[in-house]
Structure 1
Amino acid sequence: MTDKLTDLESNALTKAQLAELLFEQIGLNKRESKDMVDAFFELISQSLVEGQDVKISGFGNFQIRTKAARPGRNPRTGEPVAIEARRVVTFHASPKLKDSVQTGGSTAG
């Protein structure tokens, strides 16, 4: 997989590239690969919208956090503005993923 990832045109792995990698490495046809990637991200998105954290063992956790309203400032004009309370998604990488990134190793296992 590393060879294929180094061949990517940009520094970001896209959904289309994920589907292509599934096609090449697992043997799913291209339509199945695309559908699987789309379904995976849709399930994660829907869980987060519903306020559920998503925990992927060996990878990390996506969590919903509520940020309180606070005063802010328009950076261009310096004018004070109110920043409303909002929900945000945070991601915390697992120790296994952090170690893998640090050492350049694989997270498979």
Structure 2
Amino acid sequence: MTLTKADLIQQVYQEHDLTKAQATKVVEAFLEIAKDSLRRGDDLLLSGFGKFNVKQKKARRGRNPQTGAELILGPRKVITFKPSGILRKRINGG
């Protein structure tokens, strides 16, 4: 099962003394702050959860899987995630 943004809003709404509109604003505000931070190239560290890093990838040669034609993939930024030790333990039943 996938946890969607709507599911997250529903959980915030149910577990805290907020209206559904307030819960939506809280979740949306957090996501905007996180996206803005990553867009600027800053890392996002959530203690007990993990760290999102923005990394720069260099241009490289690639291949079109449908045609087999070679092409150059331009430089780009990617986001990586490293879970915290606490999260790893909880996922592994610890």
Name the structure 1 match of 2:27. Answer: 37
Runs of 4+ in 1 over 4 A off after TM superposition: none
Name the structure 1 match of 2:15. Answer: 25
Q: Distance in 2 between matches of 1:23 and 1:80?
A: 50
Q: Give per-residue Cα distances to partners, 1:55-95, cap 9 Å, x unaligned.
A: 00000001100001000111111110100010111111111
Aligned residues: 94
Name the structure 2 match of 1:5. Answer: none
Name the structure 1 match of 2:77. Answer: 87
Percent identical residues = 38
Q: Structure 1-normalised TM-score?
A: 0.83
Q: Give per-residue Cα distances to partners, 1:16-72, cap 9 Å, x unaligned.
A: 111111111112110000000000011000000011100000000011000010001
Q: Distance in 2 between matches of 1:30 and 1:45?
A: 22
SS in 1 for 2:72: strand
Q: Distance in 1 between matches of 2:67 and 2:14?
A: 52
Query: Structure 1 regions of 5+ residues with no counterpart?
Result: 1-10
Q: Distance in 2 between matches of 1:27 and 1:19?
A: 13
| Match of residue 45, structure 2, among 48, 55, 64 | 55
Instruction: State the Cα RMSD in Å.
Output: 0.9
Higher relative contact order, chain-length normalized (CA < 8 Å, sep 6+): 2
